[in-house]
Structure 1
Amino acid sequence: MSAPLLELRDLRVVLPTARGPAAALRGVSFTMARGEKLGLIGESGCGKSLSALAIMGLLPEGARIEGSIRLNGAELVGLADDAMARLRGDRVAMIFQEPMTALNPLHTVGAQVAEPLRLHRGLDRAAARAEALRLLDRVRLPDAARRLDAYPHQLSGGQRQRVMIAMALACGPDLLIADEPTTALDVTLQHEVLMLIDELVRGSGMGLLLISHDLSVMARHVQRVMVMYGGTVVEAGPTAAVFEQRAHPYTRGLYAARPRLGATRGTLLPTIPGRVPELADLGEGCAFAPRCDRAIDDCRRAPPPAVEVGASHAARCIRIEEGRP
């Protein structure tokens, strides 16, 4: 059996804060197969983007990391900066949330798409420019030949996101991480961008790690989903099974709070009481316990173990059987 594309084992990240060191990722573990589309979902602050930054080797200064991240069987934790730089943009690439802040305002979009080709593929300036144009056409940037010499501020939000996708795909990575790739786009553009990513991933065989807070996006675009809260994965399994069974109270809360077509105008959506805790406030037990209406003392004493609830489907809750939907 071939090695998985991506494997995280007991990944832990501690960040410096004004209140001292705080555990931001607390034992994240998962395996991703080649060509698989895997989703990470949860509220802001739950650890989704930090998991992606850990994989990319882009953690904030002062962060401490423990555990294992293996890409194609090679360990990334502890890898020297120059070695990680050779992988980043080549074997693993990332589409960031906001392209206006991720793109360099001082360089044309053509030069930015060409840069990884020159760094990782050794193409000369003319060959890299020609390939950059091909990539911009591939992501269906309108009038790509003219916009090759445009600057990011001269493009719309949807066009800038297409440039980001072209940059990420330039070297044909094995793993593509898309972190909220449709932030600030209208609904039509969101659909276009997500369908484009689907098409490009499907045609190349690369793996996709899609990060979002939108359950409908996950239902349409990934084969398997992981629900994160408090720096750990609280439920994971095949997308249809997770959304049908909703074994963890947090998953049920997210599902109940989703917008519904046909709802009466002015209808208030159900909400999860409280808010995501500060990192420094996470206790020893289940991080969701302060917001959970089923929490008991045992929930607060120790991290709950993963409980199998179906084929390749598990959740971290000691009261699963009492709370099935």
Structure 2
Amino acid sequence: MSEPLLEVQNLRVTLPGAAALLRGVSFGMARGEKLGLIGESGCGKSLTALAVMGLLPEGARVEGSIRLRGQELVGLDDAAMARLRGDRVAMVFQEPMTALNPLHTIAAQVAEPLRLHRGLDRRAARAEALRLLERVKLPNAAQRLDAHPHQLSGGQRQRVMIAMALACGPELLIADEPTTALDATLQHEVLTLIDELVRGSGMGLLLISHDLGAMARHVQRVMVMYAGTVVEDGPTAALFARRAHPYTRGLYAARPRLGAPRGTPLPTIPGRVPELADLGPGCAFAERCALAVAECRLAPPAPVTVGPAHRARCIRVEGTLS
């Protein structure tokens, strides 16, 4: 078995005056593994990533465990987390225009983690920043060093974000919707680039997306989240082939299809994601699920083994299979 990299156990996150936004999230990642996290907006994907990074809003209460190569991150003080962030664990945010500082040059921003974590002087950090920008295939990298973010296109800014994240050779890279603002061609280029950079490095990748096609092409294992809980997880091919949880089936059915007649409406999941404060004691998806029975509303469903390393939280698993 590969060496454990990230171990998350029973993670709960509660904001002041709010219900728990993450409710018992558990998963593990091996060194070099690529794991995907999918679900609708508001299901807890980005919050999971921010919890790992130690970037939750002020006043957030965190329960459970987050261990990076055996080191417990829950409870670490700000200074200790700052030493890890950008060094051992790094993140590519979904909107580079807001993640990059508009007042600083590209060279200064890519060089910053190198100066903070590697102790490089200004000249050496600038030279390494150029190497990194060339590595992520930024066009005319040398000429872009003294540019500011607004002078670059969206795809170019995302390449700069990737260069910053990879600067110190992190053990874990989190990519949170890294292609949201890009067109289809650039989406493919950026995800392929991340694949190439991660492959063979031993770096783990946690890829967050709503794009099921991207997951099928770029990760080895998938977790499906709904209302702050992982409702299904398993090897990518097995999960998409079997789709044991009704919510996973709904997401899969709603994906766009090539060749469909123009104007064909996409299937939708009825209802809306519930307010977390309004959740009852049972399955959070019960009110939107065509297969729900009275028992679904009584208690949270336990994980059911669907296949090798493939589990779903649904008491009607057998009823959802073809």
- State the TM-score, normalized to the length of structure 1: 0.98
* AA partner of residue 118 (structure 2): R
What is aligned with 2:65?
68
Q: State which of 37, 42, 47 in structure 2 corresponds to 1:45.
A: 42
SS in 2 for 1:204: coil
Superposition deviation, residue 15 in structure 1: 1.6
Please tell me whether residue 187 in structure 1 is matched to residue 187 in structure 2: no
CA distance in 2, matches of 1:151, 1:274: 44
CA distance in 1, matches of 2:11, 2:181: 30
What is aligned with 1:110?
107
Q: State which of 67, 85, 88 in structure 1 corresponds to 2:85.
A: 88
* AA partner of residue 261 (structure 1): L
What is aligned with 1:136?
133
* AA partner of residue 117 (structure 2): H
SS in 1 for 2:173: strand
What is aligned with 2:54?
57
Summarize deviations over 1:227-280 as a string: whole Å, max 9, x none.
Answer: 000101000000000000000000000000011111111111100001111222
Superposition deviation, residue 165 in structure 1: 0.1
Contact kept, 8 Å, 2:91 with 2:175, in 1: the verdict is yes
What is aligned with 2:202?
205
Would the alpha carbon gap of residues 25 and 35 (structure 1) be closer, same or farther in structure 2, given more than 3 Å must change?
Answer: same
Superposition deviation, residue 62 in structure 1: 1.6
What is aligned with 2:8?
8
Which runs of 5 or more structure 2 residues have no equivalent in the other structure?
A: none
Superposition deviation, residue 13 in structure 1: 0.5
Summarize deviations over 1:142-162 as a string: whole Å, max 9, x none.
Answer: 000010000000000000000
Summarize deviations over 1:66-115 as a string: whole Å, max 9, x none.
Answer: 00000010000001110000000000000001000000001001100000
What is aligned with 1:155?
152
Which runs of 5 or more structure 1 residues have no equivalent in the other structure?
A: none
What is aligned with 1:34?
31
CA distance in 2, matches of 1:150, 1:299: 56
- State the TM-score, normalized to the length of structure 2: 0.99
Q: Report percent identity of matched pairs.
A: 83
Cα RMSD (Å) of the superposition? 0.9
* AA partner of residue 70 (structure 1): R
Contact kept, 8 Å, 2:2 with 2:30, in 1: the verdict is no
Contact kept, 8 Å, 1:107 with 1:151, in 2: the verdict is yes
CA distance in 2, matches of 1:270, 1:137: 43
Superposition deviation, residue 138 in structure 1: 0.4
SS in 1 for 2:117: helix
Contact kept, 8 Å, 1:234 with 1:316, in 2: the verdict is yes
Please tell me whether residue 266 in structure 1 is matched to residue 255 in structure 2: no
CA distance in 2, matches of 1:87, 1:293: 45
Q: State which of 279, 294, 299 in structure 1 corresponds to 2:296.
A: 299
Please tell me whether residue 229 in structure 1 is matched to residue 213 in structure 2: no
CA distance in 2, matches of 1:99, 1:169: 15
What is aligned with 1:178?
175
Superposition deviation, residue 203 in structure 1: 3.7
CA distance in 2, matches of 1:149, 1:66: 43
* AA partner of residue 320 (structure 2): G
Superposition deviation, residue 4 in structure 1: 0.7
Superposition deviation, residue 11 in structure 1: 0.4
Would the alpha carbon gap of residues 322 and 64 (structure 1) be closer, same or farther in structure 2, given more than 3 Å must change?
Answer: same
1:116-131 correspondence runs (5 A):
116-131=113-128
4+ residue runs over 6 A deviation: none
Superposition deviation, residue 283 in structure 1: 2.2
What is aligned with 1:145?
142
CA distance in 2, matches of 1:159, 1:282: 42
* AA partner of residue 215 (structure 1): L
* AA partner of residue 36 (structure 1): E
CA distance in 1, matches of 2:114, 2:315: 50
Contact kept, 8 Å, 1:3 with 1:73, in 2: the verdict is no
Summarize deviations over 1:182-218 as a string: whole Å, max 9, x none.
Answer: 0110000000000000000004220000000010000
